[in-house]
Amino acid sequence: MNALAKPEVGKYLNEHFASSYQKVGTFTLAGGQKQGGNVASYFSTPDGEVLHVIAGPVDAQTLLREARWVVETWKLAQLQGADKTLTKLKLFLRKVHVERLREEHNLDLRRTQLPGVTGGPATPTIMLERTVNWRPGLDNPGRIHLLLACYPLVRIEQIYGLVFERLLNQPLSTIPVVRRG
């Protein structure tokens, strides 16, 4: 898919985000090209609290659309004063993910009691894993919105393993990159 090869995508991401990467799956490099493995794109605060995730490779148009959604959502949160307290921000982010579930995945959770925001379990990773299996039939974008509706601003270290292993079916690995050719 190589969305980052498109100049307009790179320009927008460079303008609005600080990029980083961490190898967590197994893949090889052959002739300078990555083979195997998977990818997840995280949009987070500078403190590592996740605003949005793209699970798996996507085309340039999708990556750009999702990045713009994050930027515009953040601007709207600031405009509405939702960024003034952590609880207000979490409630705002919950609402926008619930809206996307309703509009894009035909799942209306507006009257559903969701976990998270003002408290929650002592072990959020367990609850995050349960959330992924809560609504069978959702595709990965829907599962991400469900996850982030239940746990807005979850820390990246609490979610990345779940995204890779449960959504992308990619085991985590500490094996170094194998170079061939």
User: Distance between CA atoms of 147 and 87, rounded to whole angstroms?
Assistant: 17
Sequence-separated (6 or more) residues with CB below 8 Å from residue 113: none
Q: What is the pTM of this model?
A: 0.80
Residue 173 predicted with pLDDT over 80: no
Cβ proximity of 51 and 153 under 8 Å: yes
Give the CA dihedral 23, 59, 43, 141, nearest 10 degrees. -100
User: Distance between CA atoms of 50 and 154, rounded to whole angstroms?
Assistant: 6
pLDDT at 131: 67
Of residues 175 and 99, more confidently modeled: 99
Which residues are 130's β-sheet partners? none
User: Distance between CA atoms of 80 and 83, rounded to whole angstroms?
Assistant: 8
Q: Record the tokens describing residue 32, joined without a space.
A: 């300078």
Q: Give the domain extent around 87.
A: 3-180
How many domains does the structure of the chain reveal? 1
Average confidence (pLDDT) over 3-8: 78
Cβ proximity of 132 and 166 under 8 Å: yes
Average confidence (pLDDT) over 99-116: 82
User: Distance between CA atoms of 106 and 102, rounded to whole angstroms?
Assistant: 5
What would the pLDDT profile of 123-133 be if each residue is shown by its tens digit?
Answer: 556 666 666 66
Residue 122: pLDDT band (50, 70, 90) is very low
pLDDT at 15: 87
pLDDT at 50: 93
What would the pLDDT profile of 36-62 be if each residue is shown by its tens digit?
Answer: 567 889 999 988 999 999 998 889 999
The pairing of beta strand 50-55 with beta strand 40-44 = antiparallel
- Please state which of the ranges 52-61, 74-83, 107-116 shows the lowest mean pLDDT: 107-116
Would you put residue 132 in left (φ > 0), alpha (ψ -120 to 50) or beta?
alpha
